Structure 1
Amino acid sequence: MSFINELKRRNVFKVGIAYVVAAWLMLQLTEVLTELLEIGPEVGKIVIVLLIVGFLPAIFFAWAFELTPEGIKRESEVDRSQSIAPNTGRKLNTAIIAMLVLVAGYFIWESRFKERAAEPAGGELLVNDSQPVTATEPAPVATQADQQKSIVVLPFLNMSKDPDQEFFSDGLSEEILNALVKVPDLRVISRTSAFAFKGKGVSIPDIAAQLDVSHVLEGSVRKAGNDVRITAQLIEVDTDSHLWSEAYNRSLENIFEIQEEISKAIANELQVTLGAADSSARPTDNIDVYQSFLRGRHLYQDRGPESLDRAIEILKGVVSEEPDYAEAWATLAGASIVRSFQVDEGASELIRQGRSAANKAIEINPNTGFAYAARGLLNIRELNWEAAMADLDSAIELNPNESNSLLWKGIGLLMLGYNAEALDYLLQAEKVDPVFALLQSWIIVAYTNLDEAEAVGRHADKEEAFASNTNNSGRYVLHLLRGDLEAAEQTWALADIETLESDVLARTAFGALRDPARKEAAISTLLENEQMSASRTLFPYLWLIGATDAALDHTHRIIDSGRGLRAGIGLVTIWAAYHRDQLDAPGLPELFERIGAADYWRKHGDPDLCRVSGDNIECGEK
């Protein structure tokens, strides 16, 4: 009898196959139990070692021993005419088939049900913050190409025992998003809108419908010490099918490789090109520094004063440890700049710090798009229009799907009076950030300046649906466009109560608007309550009642204090359709010259409602 036939007779092959299948099932069971019991991944490693070690003894046992009715005997002691090896072989066949059925069942369960149990967008995820997300109408309709290649990266679920590790799971989601956002052929929903659904209990189909995307990436993160388990799956919305899913059990040192693998897998499934430079750049070899960066960025995204102060402190520590970390410098710039808008004392130092950090990020890596965006916003604050537009154009070119750059570019153009052009950028931002309430507010400003009341009403509905409070500017400007002063006053007063905790400014302004004889008293009341006004600017109230001289004097004082952005935010209201008759105010040309708008117009062309010829500036309806 040949050796192979003898192996078959003694069921060695069948024992080997049964052992391998049983070992695989054991590993899956170990994986499930380690998750449920929150045991470290080292348990799985021990099980693997034991199973490998046990394979050869099992094969030796099958060769040297036989199971008989009297028990286990050495094979040499068994009379072959009395051997029940064939019966044992049939039992092994049955066992193998049964285990293979279990394997098939496991694969079906994992691909269809397991990950859904940890859906980051589903009802089991506890949430943060900001915005209700039941829109009154769908997001802007994308082209067919946009729809086919569009994705939202939902925040990965933090399954770690420590809830403080949420910064890590959020950070991982954002890193993947940032890699994908640079792909020109892929429409990627921005962080603001993607994270708006966090813990809201909104289903995947509803999220996809509101964001108008064809694909959703979701996942979970479990971090224990230096070990991390990450699951991710890509869902095709139309078919509700999983195009791709993967689980990674690695050490933290491999986190960059995991991010790269996920990004490349998504790009491959969606048939878009992900540049190697964008996906594989390793910002630091120090994992502790990287985790500090994720924590600092997480705090920056919160935007609260205390969170920003802590973010700045952490990010300073990151760049001190890792001086060539461009993204950390850029985030430090953003945190410093945003914080500077919230304070009076110390604002100058924050601005200096923000500009220095942005310049450093660009010096280290000229492709750091957010650094250009942050510096562009600073240049708007300093009324340096040429530099601001150049920086924002660079940011948009580098990250065409980054909504903040598009938003800030739109705001700058609104300040300069290019309302139609500004609207184009704002609507482009809406395609990737459709549930961002602040963006809706600025779209409303653009449509108000273009005298399109129907569009104002449409976006006022969105602003109200997405906002976390009742400060919805769209309602009162819609009433002003329609000439309904009573409704405009009520909605403006409610908005002021929400943001200023008082309606005295709105009530004073509308009182003078209804009765011009109260205008001078209203001016005095408004100026006496200047500290109460949002962003420290009374311009919208003064301009509303026709107090153009007082409004312009007030703006000059703001510019004198170095608050160019606040002055600019006030000035966007001069283009509003409901008081265009005031564009011939004598002091406007002087202000346009002072803020540099006139020189920008001479170089780049007239704004929508002004004509510039040499030193002469005429504004109003053509």
Structure 2
Amino acid sequence: MRWIAEMHRRGVIRALIIYVLAAWIVVEISASLLPSNETGAQQLRMIILVALVGCPVMAILVWRRGRGTGGGAKQAGERSLLSIVSVTALLAVLAWTVTAHSPRADREYSGIAILPFSDLSATEDHQYLADGIAEEIRNRLVAVPGLDVAARSSAFAFRQRSKNVREIGEILRVDLVLDGSLRKAGDTVRISLQLVDARTGFEVWTGSFDAGLDDIFALQDEIAGQIVAVVAPDNKEMASVAAMPSSFDAYDLYLLGRHNWQKRDIASLERALEYFDQSISRDPRFAPSHTGRADSLLLLARAGERPPQQAVVEANEAIQTALQLDPLLGDAHASLGLLRLFQGNFVAAELALREALRIAPENSTAHMWLGLTQLRRPGGGPNLALEALQAAQRLDPMDPTITLNLAGVLARLGHGEESISELRQLLARGVESHGAGVLLATLCLQWGRLDEAIVVLSDSDALTRGPDGRALYARTLAALGQGDLAATWLRSADLQETAAATPPRLDAAYITGADELLREALYRENPPHAAEWWNGLLSWRGGDISAALASFDLAAAAVPDGDPQLAITVAGARAAALRALGDADSAIGILMEARQLGADSVAAGWDTPQLNFALAVIEASLGDEAGATAYLEQAVAAGWRDIEWARGVPGTAQVVHIVGYAALEKTVLDDLQRQWKSVANQAEAATVGLSR
């Protein structure tokens, strides 16, 4: 056969034999060096593909080099050299593959995210267990030096896997992602894991583990150890974790408690408390169950679902028990900080939270609670609160509760646009948070963007999910001057049956003259300062000035620390009532105190349209027209549009008489009319739908 003879003459067959032998050796070496998992199999297939493609390419090159009748030893040597060069290129591909995609000891990884494991159990009712095991593995990795571990809330936000691994890595700022699944059958579990390089999308480690339920704690240690061997093989340090309970049942109930506590709604918190109590009954010496019990009690009390004093006593007992069992449990110190914050002991709260952060610097919840403490602590203020909340968000960028509090502080500092942007970004990321939509609409209302508030509430599930959204809708309509529409929303059956009256509902009721509805709601789970404030307004409107003053005095005594805007507003109302009763000297004394509080608050960073309007009332009441005008202009420029509400508040009549008020009022009314035109059809249609 002439073509075989020609290939032989040109040295192609000899070169092919050398190439095939060398390629076979390379593939064998690759099989022994690459990891025995799917990633390794992918890499080996790539090397074989390169070898196959390289074979005809090398044959063509040798054929062309062998063209002609001569050749001799020189051409034979060249053809052999070409075969060697081809094999060398193949070896280079192997080296690059192993170096770039294999989990070698010198590969640097700086951050890892532990995604929630999927529940593949037949009954599909063990998601809490899958989440708990994922969280415990995370807790064991947090103390690896140089390794940043994404916070639970941020990593668990990707439960639906709506993003690919590379996108998750970019959002969470990590280069490794651990994903997995849990399958429970009887008293055994199987955990299958994949550790993926988020920069390349390649797996760097896989593992499958089987264990009985009583061996689950040792299994968590084993898994974490294997991950550390890949991520930081020279590192032997692991995070210290709380002592495990004496039985799996206690641990299982604890995980069920935490699973429900993370949801933060009332029904889930009630279930969480039950599970924590059951866990404690199984193993009274498991400290984390006691901290979970305390946290649940305090959040339920804050929501008005537990008597505050009883909750404080029971929470304190649980926290002290946890600290006696494990003095180095960071969560217990964080719970103590939350308790002191709830009690109003802000100095003690800060000390406890800083101790929690000394033990566990990555505790984003402790950072958040520290921010809330700084907001209300004497000598603190919104700037220090912002610093703590930004630290919390850096650790846990996907936690909606942290973002909600951060947005609130940004708004208090006068950064209305930034606070609104934070909430829009949170909603755009698909994070499930009913509160985000309601707070976004609230901030739009506060900063004069009432049309946006209507759109936000209409486009979200806020109008159907609960009374807060509908109350805020009524409040926004009232601010837009649409009293009849607001009254329709206020008198809807579901709002009247609500156990707690929200502030927007009370505002809307007062603006629209729904005094009977307001009286019914006054003492319905409202804090004393709010109930007395609105009782005073009703007495004022009814002409009973003495009763109004008595209520305003009670409200002033009960205003919580960290709310200078409300304190100054109440002070203006008290001064107006005193003047109406002929006690001008006492009125001036209260106004001077309010002026100083305003100056201190502005110096601390407070800057909202509502605060500036309240200060305008104080200055006008003191006769400082220039000062009142400056504050009023600043309020209107920033977005103050609450003219309907202000007309019914004692003291605001003083502002009406200052020079330039009429022009500013026209600016506000014209803007309100413009905004209403843009949303009138949408709001009217929603109201018609409500009546059906």
Task: Output the TM-score relative to the length of structure 1.
Answer: 0.61
1:574 is matched with 565
Q: Deviations over 1:29-76 (max 9, x none)?
A: xxxxxxxxxxxxxxxxxxxxxxxxxxxxxxxxxxxxxxxxxxxxxxxx
Counterpart residue type for residue 237 of structure 1: A
Counterpart Cα distance in 2 of 1:529 and 1:558: 22
2:290 is matched with 329
Among residues 173, 187, 192, which one is paired with 1:212 in the alignment?
A: 173
The 8 Å contact of residues 333 and 371 in structure 1, kept in 2 or not, is answered as: no
Among residues 416, 431, 455, which one is paired with 2:418 in the alignment?
A: 455
- Please report how far the alpha carbon of residue 183 of structure 1 lies from its aligned counterpart in structure 2 after TM superposition: 5.0
Q: 1:210 to 1:231 in 2, by over 3 A?
A: same
Q: Deviations over 1:519-553 (max 9, x none)?
A: 8876957853646999769969x89xx99x98996
Among residues 380, 386, 393, which one is paired with 2:341 in the alignment?
A: 380
Counterpart residue type for residue 439 of structure 2: S
2:218 is matched with 257
Q: Deviations over 1:355-377 (max 9, x none)?
A: 21112111111121112222212
- Please report how far the alpha carbon of residue 227 of structure 1 lies from its aligned counterpart in structure 2 after TM superposition: 2.2
The 8 Å contact of residues 229 and 249 in structure 1, kept in 2 or not, is answered as: yes
Counterpart Cα distance in 2 of 1:512 and 1:383: 39
Runs of 5+ consecutive residues of structure 1 not aligned to the other structure: 1-99, 114-146, 611-617
Counterpart residue type for residue 193 of structure 1: S
Give the alignment of 1:603-622 within 5 angstroms: 607-608=604-605
Q: 1:454 to 1:583 in 2, by over 3 A?
A: farther
Give the alignment of 1:56-205 within 5 angstroms: 107-109=36-38, 149-182=110-143, 185-205=146-166
Aligned to 1:164, the other structure's residue is in SS state coil
Counterpart residue type for residue 528 of structure 1: R
Counterpart Cα distance in 2 of 1:313 and 1:327: 14
Counterpart Cα distance in 2 of 1:291 and 1:317: 10
The 8 Å contact of residues 143 and 238 in structure 2, kept in 1 or not, is answered as: no
Counterpart Cα distance in 2 of 1:321 and 1:315: 10
Counterpart Cα distance in 2 of 1:333 and 1:374: 7
Worse-superposed segment, 485-494 or 384-393: 485-494
Q: Deviations over 1:92-120 (max 9, x none)?
A: xxxxxxxx99999994547568xxxxxxx
Among residues 175, 199, 202, which one is paired with 1:241 in the alignment?
A: 202
Instruction: Please say if 1:441 is aligned against 2:407.
Output: no
Q: 1:162 to 1:531 in 2, by over 3 A?
A: farther
The root-mean-square deviation of aligned C-alpha atoms, in Å, is: 4.9
The 8 Å contact of residues 447 and 456 in structure 1, kept in 2 or not, is answered as: yes
Counterpart Cα distance in 1 of 2:162 and 2:417: 32
2:74 is matched with none
The 8 Å contact of residues 460 and 475 in structure 1, kept in 2 or not, is answered as: no
Counterpart Cα distance in 1 of 2:474 and 2:212: 59
Counterpart Cα distance in 1 of 2:114 and 2:370: 25
2:443 is matched with 477
Counterpart residue type for residue 278 of structure 1: S
Q: 1:358 to 1:347 in 2, by over 3 A?
A: same
1:63 is matched with none
- Please report how far the alpha carbon of residue 220 of structure 1 lies from its aligned counterpart in structure 2 after TM superposition: 1.6
- Please report how far the alpha carbon of residue 335 of structure 1 lies from its aligned counterpart in structure 2 after TM superposition: 2.0
Equivalent pairs, count: 459
The 8 Å contact of residues 315 and 328 in structure 1, kept in 2 or not, is answered as: yes
Counterpart Cα distance in 1 of 2:197 and 2:553: 52
Counterpart Cα distance in 2 of 1:473 and 1:270: 40
Q: 1:558 to 1:586 in 2, by over 3 A?
A: closer
Q: 1:225 to 1:494 in 2, by over 3 A?
A: closer
Counterpart Cα distance in 2 of 1:182 and 1:522: 59
Give the alignment of 1:408-423 within 5 angstroms: 408-416=369-377, 418-423=381-386
Counterpart Cα distance in 1 of 2:262 and 2:551: 36
Which structure's relative contact order is higher, taking Cα pairs within 8 Å and 6+ residues apart?
Answer: 1
Worse-superposed segment, 463-472 or 368-377: 463-472
The 8 Å contact of residues 333 and 354 in structure 1, kept in 2 or not, is answered as: yes
The 8 Å contact of residues 400 and 426 in structure 2, kept in 1 or not, is answered as: yes
- Please report how far the alpha carbon of residue 415 of structure 1 lies from its aligned counterpart in structure 2 after TM superposition: 3.0
Instruction: Please say if 1:404 is aligned against 2:352.
Output: no
Q: 1:478 to 1:187 in 2, by over 3 A?
A: farther
1:432 is matched with 395
Counterpart Cα distance in 2 of 1:587 and 1:267: 64
- Please report how far the alpha carbon of residue 236 of structure 1 lies from its aligned counterpart in structure 2 after TM superposition: 1.6
The 8 Å contact of residues 182 and 400 in structure 1, kept in 2 or not, is answered as: no
Aligned to 1:246, the other structure's residue is in SS state strand
Counterpart Cα distance in 2 of 1:521 and 1:347: 33
Q: Deviations over 1:364-407 (max 9, x none)?
A: 11121112222212211211111111111122222222221111
Aligned to 1:216, the other structure's residue is in SS state strand
Instruction: Please say if 1:350 is aligned against 2:311.
Output: yes
Which structure: larger Rg?
2
- Please report how far the alpha carbon of residue 234 of structure 1 lies from its aligned counterpart in structure 2 after TM superposition: 2.0
Counterpart Cα distance in 2 of 1:332 and 1:423: 29
The 8 Å contact of residues 476 and 487 in structure 1, kept in 2 or not, is answered as: no
Counterpart Cα distance in 2 of 1:208 and 1:551: 58
1:278 is matched with 240
1:88 is matched with none
Instruction: Please say if 1:528 is aligned against 2:491.
Output: no
Q: 1:437 to 1:401 in 2, by over 3 A?
A: same
Counterpart residue type for residue 429 of structure 1: A
Counterpart Cα distance in 2 of 1:361 and 1:263: 26
Instruction: Please say if 1:361 is aligned against 2:322.
Output: yes
The 8 Å contact of residues 154 and 173 in structure 1, kept in 2 or not, is answered as: yes
The 8 Å contact of residues 151 and 188 in structure 1, kept in 2 or not, is answered as: yes
Q: Deviations over 1:166-221 (max 9, x none)?
A: 22111101111222345564332222222222125432222222222221111122
Q: 1:442 to 1:554 in 2, by over 3 A?
A: farther
Runs of 5+ consecutive residues of structure 2 not aligned to the other structure: 1-28, 43-107, 484-506, 541-547, 576-588, 608-617, 620-626, 632-692
- Please report how far the alpha carbon of residue 344 of structure 1 lies from its aligned counterpart in structure 2 after TM superposition: 4.1
- Please report how far the alpha carbon of residue 336 of structure 1 lies from its aligned counterpart in structure 2 after TM superposition: 2.1
Aligned to 1:401, the other structure's residue is in SS state coil
Counterpart Cα distance in 1 of 2:275 and 2:454: 45
Counterpart residue type for residue 473 of structure 1: L
1:394 is matched with 355
Q: 1:233 to 1:608 in 2, by over 3 A?
A: same
1:3 is matched with none
Q: Deviations over 1:151-176 (max 9, x none)?
A: 21111122222212222111101111
The 8 Å contact of residues 151 and 216 in structure 1, kept in 2 or not, is answered as: yes
Q: 1:520 to 1:230 in 2, by over 3 A?
A: closer
- Please report how far the alpha carbon of residue 338 of structure 1 lies from its aligned counterpart in structure 2 after TM superposition: 2.1
1:43 is matched with none
Counterpart Cα distance in 2 of 1:337 and 1:289: 22
Task: Output the TM-score relative to the length of structure 2.
Answer: 0.56
Aligned to 1:278, the other structure's residue is in SS state coil
Q: Deviations over 1:211-268 (max 9, x none)?
A: 2222111112222223222222322211222233222222223222221122233334
Aligned to 1:285, the other structure's residue is in SS state coil
Q: Deviations over 1:484-531 (max 9, x none)?
A: 455457758999745423334444456599xx9x98876957853646
Q: 1:346 to 1:485 in 2, by over 3 A?
A: closer
The 8 Å contact of residues 116 and 131 in structure 2, kept in 1 or not, is answered as: yes
Counterpart Cα distance in 2 of 1:167 and 1:361: 23
The 8 Å contact of residues 192 and 433 in structure 1, kept in 2 or not, is answered as: yes
Identity of aligned residues (%): 24
Counterpart Cα distance in 2 of 1:176 and 1:551: 59
